[in-house]
Amino acid sequence: MASSVRPNQIFRNINAKIAAIPMVLTAMVVFVGCTIWTVVYSFTNSKLLPKLDFVGMAQYERLWASRRWLISIENLAIYGICSLIFSFVVGFMLAALMDQKIRFENTFRTIILYPFALSFVVTGLVWQWILNPEFGVQNVVRSMGFTEFTFDPLYDAQIVIYGILIAGLWQGTGFIMVIMLAGLRGIDTDIWKASRVDGIPKWKTYLFVVIPMMRPVFITALVLISAGIVKVYDLVIAQTNGGPGIASEVPAKYVMDTMFRNQNLGQGFAASTMMLVSVLVILIPWAYLEFGGRKNDK
């Protein structure tokens, strides 16, 4: 019985499968092939042009001995942790507010989501102007009489990464809100009716009933946010270009500068490989939770 069914499943939608072959081959060559190529050449002494002059782990040892790389990792960790926390908290709170069927919901949702339609370069330039002490927030507040007020995060090496974080949250939180709102709208209304009948406070319903039911939504949001964190580059270039000094360096900028400005491909490939490892650390648990967990449930 099984042998007679299996051929039918293989040849089902055969035209669509044949049409997908070019895209599959392209993905295999471009993504998988280039990834393997990058990893291989990260163990070489390639400079301006790639060459198979293997030097073992020397590029990685040099990478982790670089103060600039360590600062970029520290900045990415700060930006990533804060971005995850605030994106989830603010995004969910905004989604919960929108889910109350408030007046002008469509207008508010559009306004909050609008920054996501902008490029990171535009967002970075806008917030560079807003945070500029000469004509931004600091200047406006001082013009109101608070002459001692100071707010110039992009010019303070100790907190510059938080200035970049503000711009990132402004742009991305609306998108997370939409994802959360879609998850909330998928919750059965009978759950809310039952909680009201039982006299359960709304916050407890959210915490112990709604949020656990939205697990797939949270996992999807986690992957999207994490992917954006690892490859953050445009905001830094537009706002600070890595300054003051190297205080706002991030791994993606380190890779670009090393490969194209310093013409050290081997070092850039090593840094790129470390970024790939960080992405795999995110994707593998997600894949297990999404697919392995479902198999276990069955």
Rounded to whole angstroms, the Cα distance separating 203 from 195 reads 11
Instruction: Assign 54 to helix, strand or coil.
Output: strand
Rounded to whole angstroms, the Cα distance separating 171 from 125 reads 12
Helix/strand/coil percentages in the chain, nearest 5: 75, 0, 25
pLDDT, residue 10, reads 64
pTM: 0.85
Q: What percent of the chain has pLDDT over 70?
A: 93
Using 50, 70 and 90 to split pLDDT, how confident is the model at 297?
A: low
Mean pLDDT of 159-188: 93
| pLDDT tens track for 238-285 | 999 998 999 999 999 999 999 989 999 999 999 999 998 888 887 777
Using 50, 70 and 90 to split pLDDT, how confident is the model at 158?
A: very high
Question: How many of the other CB atoms lie within 10 Å of CB of 66?
Answer: 15
pLDDT, residue 1, reads 45
Place of tokens 């490989």: 273
236 close to 71: Cβ distance less than 8 angstroms: no
Give the contacts of 116 (CB within 8 A, at least 6 positions apart). Answer: 171, 172, 174, 175
50 close to 41: Cβ distance less than 8 angstroms: yes
Mean pLDDT of the chain: 87
Give the contacts of 109 (CB within 8 A, at least 6 positions apart). Answer: 98, 177, 178, 181
Per the model's pLDDT, the better-predicted residue between 24 and 157 turns out to be 157
The residue count for the chain: 298
Instruction: Assign 294 to helix, strand or coil.
Output: helix
Using 50, 70 and 90 to split pLDDT, how confident is the model at 122?
A: very high
Question: How many of the other CB atoms lie within 10 Å of CB of 76?
Answer: 22
pLDDT, residue 259, reads 92
- 154: pLDDT strictly greater than 70: yes
Using 50, 70 and 90 to split pLDDT, how confident is the model at 7?
A: low
| pLDDT tens track for 42-100 | 999 999 888 888 999 999 999 999 999 999 999 999 999 999 999 999 999 999 999 88
pLDDT, residue 238, reads 93
Mean pLDDT of 92-109: 88
pLDDT, residue 254, reads 95
- Choose the weakest-confidence range: 6-20, 148-162, 209-223: 6-20
| pLDDT tens track for 182-216 | 999 888 888 888 888 888 888 888 988 899 999 88
pLDDT, residue 71, reads 96
N- to C-terminal Cα separation, the chain: 23
Mean pLDDT of 16-45: 86
- 237: pLDDT strictly greater than 50: yes
